[in-house]
Amino acid sequence: MDTKWLEDFVSLAETRSFSRSAQLRHVTQPAFSRRIQSLEAWAGTDLVDRSSYPTRLTPAGQTLYAQALEMLQALQATRGMLRQHTAVAKDTIEFAVPHTLAFTFFPAWLSGLRASVGPVKSRLIALNVHDAVLRLTEGSCDLLLAYHHPSQPIQLDTDRYEMLPLGREVLVPYVKPNARGEPLHRLPGTAAAPVPFLAYAPGAYLGRVVDWVLRQPGGAVHLDRVYETDMSESLKAMAIEGHGVAFLPTSSVQQALGDGRLVSAAPPGEAWCGQLDIRLYRAAGNKGKLAAQKFWADVALAVRGGA
């Protein structure tokens, strides 16, 4: 039996909704349903009464729910004890961070905190957004640093996870300039001359935000998708070399803008940008390592002081 099945089952018991639990567990509803069915196959009996709405548990499901809470709590406590045996566990804070934030935000943010928080021992785990969120929900990191955009909210249960707002980032289309300093390409392009587009890979969080931005002007956008990757740093390098237009975090391109290697590809007077919040998350009622608890309290104090 996979312990994720128990976590899925506990979520379903508490939300009484397959669709809501699938969102909270960051899986599709069909995949979530299959995992519940796998748990029922392991148990040898129905755990969910599918004839009712909202969803409710069978008597066997109610019994398993109580036992699952105890088992998951015991496993979490055991994990905590085991992690105390590692050098990382005692005074090093483990951050799960999406790749782009690992390059563009995390180093400067940590430096900016040094005066108020002091030196911080950290271990950064760079992942895509989905896997970074899973790290937090599975208890495999102390803190999660992530983007938030209204069109792509991270579905973390506010009863189980706390959040601190850290700042904002803006995605803007950039391109190499020509000899006169003008953009080599400019959005929205035309059917006869589509803009060579350097895109985020399908499923990438920033890619979904870019898709939202491209739908906003209302007019037709003509793009020729010539390159794609998960990594914004790779998109920036390709844009600097003149391969096309890329939507990039403004924090990552300041030097390239200053020395003229990149310019905006947006039409004059039009924004064509996506604003994202940068947020820090942890499990609510955190009882983890003291270093992470102190860091969270210090950051919370700094956030309130800057508000």
Angle at CA of residue 156, ends 154 and 161, nearest 5°: 130
Quick check: helix, strand or coil at residue 250?
A: helix
Judge whether 300 lies within some domain: yes
Task: Please indicate, yes or no, whether the overall pTM of this predicted structure exceeds 0.75.
Answer: no
Residue 135 contacts residue 98 (beta carbons within 8 Å): no
Same domain, 148 and 296: yes
Q: Is residue 52 part of a domain?
A: yes
Instruction: Indicate which CATH number applies to the domain containing 137.
Output: 3.40.190.10
How far is residue 58 CA from its own chain's centroid? 35
- The C-alpha torsion from 192 through 198 and 203 to 205, rounded to 10°, is -120
Q: Which ranges of the chain have pLDDT less than 50?
A: 87
Residues 197 and 250 in one domain: yes
Find tokens 């398993």 and name the residue.
64
Rounded to whole angstroms, the Cα distance separating 169 from 177 reads 23
Output the pLDDT for position 80. Answer: 63
Are 235 and 108 part of one and the same domain? no
Enumerate residues 6+ apart whose C-beta is below 8 A from 245: 173, 174, 175, 185, 187, 195, 196, 197, 198, 239, 265
Do residues 28 and 102 share a domain? no
Task: Indicate the residue among 77, 95, 124 that finishes a domain.
Answer: 77
Q: Are 95 and 144 in contact (CB under 8 A)?
A: yes
Q: Is residue 121 part of a domain?
A: yes
CATH of the domain at 60: 1.10.10.10
Range of the domain at 119: 87-166+278-306
In total, how many domains does the chain have?
3
Q: Are residues 14 and 135 in the same domain?
A: no
Shared domain for 94 and 231, answered yes or no, is no
The reply to whether 61 falls in a domain is yes
User: With 0-12 CB in 10 A as exposed, 13-18 as middle and 19+ as buried, what is 118?
Assistant: exposed
Say yes or no: 71 and 195 in one domain. no
Last residue of a domain, one of 77, 108, 131: 77
Question: What's the confidence (pLDDT) of residue 22?
Answer: 85
Residue 175 and residue 269 in one domain: yes
Q: What is the pLDDT of residue 55?
A: 84
Residue 216 lies in a domain: yes
Q: 267 and 225 in one domain?
A: yes
Domain finish residue from 77, 108, 136: 77
Cα(283)–Cα(200) distance, integer angstroms: 30
Cα–Cα distance for residue pair 198/53, rounded to 1 Å:
46
Report if residue 82 sits inside a domain: no
In whole angstroms, what is the distance from residue 195 CA to residue 225 CA?
A: 8
Q: What is the DSSP letter of 285?
A: T
Residues 143 and 286 in one domain: yes
Provide the b/e sequence for 237-274 (b: ≥16 CB within 10 Å). ebbbeebbbbbbbbbbbeebeeeebbbbbbeeeeebeb
**Coil/strand/helix, residue 9:** helix
Residues 98 and 69 in one domain: no
The CA distance from 172 to 266, in Å, is 8
Domain for residue 235, yes or no? yes
The tens digit of pLDDT for each residue in 266-281 reads 988 887 899 999 999 9
With respect to residue 175, please indicate whether it lies within any of the assigned structural domains.
yes
> What is the C-alpha separation between 76 and 80, in angstroms, rounded?
6
Does 176 lie in the same domain as 100?
no
